Structure 1
Amino acid sequence: MRTVSVIVPCRNERRYIEGFCAGVMRQQVPQGWSLQLVVADGQSDDGTRDLLQDIAMHEPRVQWIDNPGRIVSTGLNAALAVARGEAIVRMDVHTEYADDYVAQCLAVMEETGADNVGGPWRAVPDAQAQPMQHAVAAAFQSRWVAGGALSRQLDYDGFADTVYLGSWPRASFQRFGGFDEQLVRNQDDEHNLRIVKGGGRVWQSSRIRSVYRPRAALSQVFRQYLQYGYWKPFVMKKHGQAASVRHAIPSVFVVMLGLALLAGFLRQGMAPFFVLTGLYAAAVTAMTLMIAREGKHPVDVLLRVPAVIAAYHFGYGIGSIIGWWDVLRHGAGRPRFAKLTR
């Protein structure tokens, strides 16, 4: 009997963990395969651990372990250390999966021989979501906001630089190593970059289907992308990787806007600031109109989309600037950016 291990980092997920584990246990696996679920708990203090202990007591396929590092990368590595599977599938508690998610991961892995396979990143609001979460999902899925990222293209099949979550033959970790525990965010991007630079292959398949529940508040979106932006320079420095256009634009714009505002305070005139602000407002309006064309969204959702786009851009841009400052200054991440937020 062959084993596929599902590995999951979590912390303070009392509201979701039971439903998540039940969903994993419903996963269809091919004949001749067994499933193991390993949950690495980041020292939860909301009752999650008690629930995990009870679940594991009644379901022998579930195992939970301690993750004293409390972040995703340390949790993934801790789960990898005890996973028995010859195939590894990563999951996230805030994502819902098609019943054949694991089976499709195994099938695509076999068909392509890729070192990591995964599906697209599809954002869908909660059933009782307010307009803001609908706006977050609409902006998230738009190719105009995402800068053409393949991971947001739901119908794309082929080689990619990264995929959502991912699944690997055990041999991939033996060849390329585990996840970088210095990274609080972007550890999946860094691992995929390591695979590609090491001669491996990453494959995205539209058959691997899941639904991600995005943040529901604007402040949460800003904090999320602040962290994404902050940790990206650490990945770039590690691999000597130049920033792509879509990664560089937010930080460049924030710097230009800040300099224009400073010039105004120094009585050099506010015209550059107003020009930049006007151009950005026009660009965001154009993106919002494109989103309106891509799907049927109520007016109260579309009215919130510009604020969501700005939260994405300014969060990522400000985070990148602070990240580059820390990379060039001492190369270590700040503790305040080491705490995951939801």
Structure 2
Amino acid sequence: MRSEPSVSIIVPTLNEEKYIRQAIGSLIPVEGLDYELIVLDGGSTDRTASIVEELASSNASIRLERNPARYQSAAVNLGAKVAKPQSAIIVRADSHAEYPPGFVAGLVGELNQQKVASVVVPMRTRGKGFLQRGIAAAQNSRLGNGGAAHRTATSSRYVDHGHHAAFDRSAFLAVGGYDESFTHNEDAELDLRLRRSGARIWLCSELAISYFPRNSFGALARQYFNHGSGRAKTMLKHRRPPKLRQILPVGALGLNALSLASGIVVSPLFLLPGLAYVGACMTGGLFLAVSERDPAGCVAGPAAMIMHHSWAAGFIYRVLRSTASKAWPAPASIEAVR
């Protein structure tokens, strides 16, 4: 009789034809676990769905489902509901990543051994081309990640938040899963509710994954704008102040904007604080290039500046939008007045 629990691996995806085959291949357990792998596609317009169907034709444990809501939060919620009834554990996996050997089995073991509701893992960013390697260098360093636990952890421990990997299915459903109004930062918001319910979160440092970052500055800026907006939304929903490392980008944006405006209107001397910030980031990138022996590290300086300012802009946008909606509530409809 099989003693291992059944596992449902849930993979949200959208236009990931470059990465989906590799991601699925690295996720399939080889340890004899009872598993299913569900790809939730949000309406891909490339070959993502056809690649998954091809893989499913040779592996009955793989299946493709549609995610009409498109977002990751909705995909994982749907996957947790449509997973086979005997699945006690759900694994959330990204199609934009690569997983170490024994990843799923390791998560199952950690979840059972630690008796927790969730296991999270470190995320090491890895690039392929020159620009992507530079962006990866920024995201892997304190210059870009500010010391986030799931970016810097070297030992396993209980944490408040981390990169989501596995859940006790009943605990996940008991708190309502992800808040589907969140397009970003849904993981941190869920972790808050899990901890408030009395559940614990375990960071397993041995199961670090490789994540492939955006490969253009424009895509990076959009991603971090959304991250900042999502973090502000979590803060406003739960009325929790941001951590220092999360508020520093807002300070950097304010400092640089004031420095630039004052330098233009008042005196060029006021440009010095902004130039000092730019110099510090560029020096940090140069240090990464030398320490990692990769010239692409020089890109980490500009990448970090884009990450800082985009995150801050998204954060401020969400706060101002929330403030405006409270100050100017939507007018009642004619039908409601009647």
TM-score range, shorter chain: 0.7 to 0.9
Q: What corresponds to 2:334 in structure 1? A: none
Please say if residues 7 and 34 of structure 2, whose CA atoms lie closer than 8 Å, have aligned partners that are also in contact.
yes
Aligned partners of 1:285, 1:307: CA distance in 2, in Å? 7
**Structure 1 residue 154 displacement after superposition:** 4.4
**Equivalent residue runs for 1:133-148 within 5 Å:** 133-148=132-147
Q: What corresponds to 1:305 in structure 2? A: 300
| 2:17 matches 1:14 | yes
Letter in 1 for 2:311: Y
Aligned partners of 2:26, 2:111: CA distance in 1, in Å? 22
Aligned partners of 1:297, 1:187: CA distance in 2, in Å? 36
Q: What corresponds to 2:335 in structure 1? A: none
Aligned partners of 2:321, 2:309: CA distance in 1, in Å? 18
Letter in 1 for 2:208: R
Q: Counterpart of 1:38 in 2: which secondary structure?
A: strand
Say if 1:18 and 1:292 are closer, same or farther in 2 by CA, change over 3 A: closer
Q: Which moved more, 1:281-290 or 1:193-202?
A: 281-290
Aligned partners of 1:304, 1:37: CA distance in 2, in Å? 37
Q: What corresponds to 2:62 in structure 1? A: 62
Q: TM-score, normalization: structure 1?
A: 0.87
2:292 equivalent among 253, 272, 296? 296
**Structure 1 residue 70 displacement after superposition:** 0.9
RMSD, aligned CA: 2.1
Q: Counterpart of 1:303 in 2: which secondary structure?
A: helix
Please say if residues 283 and 301 of structure 2, whose CA atoms lie closer than 8 Å, have aligned partners that are also in contact.
no
Q: What corresponds to 2:98 in structure 1? A: 96
Please say if residues 40 and 64 of structure 2, whose CA atoms lie closer than 8 Å, have aligned partners that are also in contact.
yes
Please say if residues 281 and 302 of structure 2, whose CA atoms lie closer than 8 Å, have aligned partners that are also in contact.
no
Q: Which moved more, 1:282-291 or 1:203-212?
A: 282-291
**Structure 1 residue 224 displacement after superposition:** 1.3
**Equivalent residue runs for 1:5-44 within 5 Å:** 5-25=8-28, 27-29=29-31, 33-44=33-44
Letter in 2 for 1:23: S
Please say if residues 92 and 165 of structure 1, whose CA atoms lie closer than 8 Å, have aligned partners that are also in contact.
no
Please say if residues 123 and 214 of structure 1, whose CA atoms lie closer than 8 Å, have aligned partners that are also in contact.
yes
Aligned partners of 1:43, 1:164: CA distance in 2, in Å? 24
| 2:169 matches 1:173 | no
Please say if residues 122 and 208 of structure 2, whose CA atoms lie closer than 8 Å, have aligned partners that are also in contact.
yes
Aligned partners of 1:142, 1:270: CA distance in 2, in Å? 32
Please say if residues 52 and 64 of structure 1, whose CA atoms lie closer than 8 Å, have aligned partners that are also in contact.
yes
Residues 189-241 of structure 1, C-alpha deviations (whole Å, 9 max, x = no match): 11112212332211111221321112222222222111111221111111111
Letter in 2 for 1:169: D
| 2:284 matches 1:287 | yes
Please say if residues 8 and 38 of structure 2, whose CA atoms lie closer than 8 Å, have aligned partners that are also in contact.
yes
Q: TM-score, normalization: structure 2?
A: 0.88
Aligned partners of 2:126, 2:321: CA distance in 1, in Å? 35
Q: Counterpart of 2:205 in 1: which secondary structure?
A: coil
Percent same amino acid at aligned positions?
26
Aligned partners of 1:95, 1:121: CA distance in 2, in Å? 9
| 2:73 matches 1:76 | no
Aligned partners of 1:87, 1:330: CA distance in 2, in Å? 39
Aligned partners of 1:227, 1:87: CA distance in 2, in Å? 29
Letter in 1 for 2:138: A
**Structure 1 residue 95 displacement after superposition:** 0.8
Q: Which moved more, 1:4-13 or 1:156-165?
A: 156-165
Aligned partners of 1:247, 1:285: CA distance in 2, in Å? 21
Give 5+ residue unaligned stretches, structure 1: 332-342
Query: How many residues get paired?
Result: 321
Please say if residues 185 and 230 of structure 2, whose CA atoms lie closer than 8 Å, have aligned partners that are also in contact.
yes
**Structure 1 residue 64 displacement after superposition:** 1.5
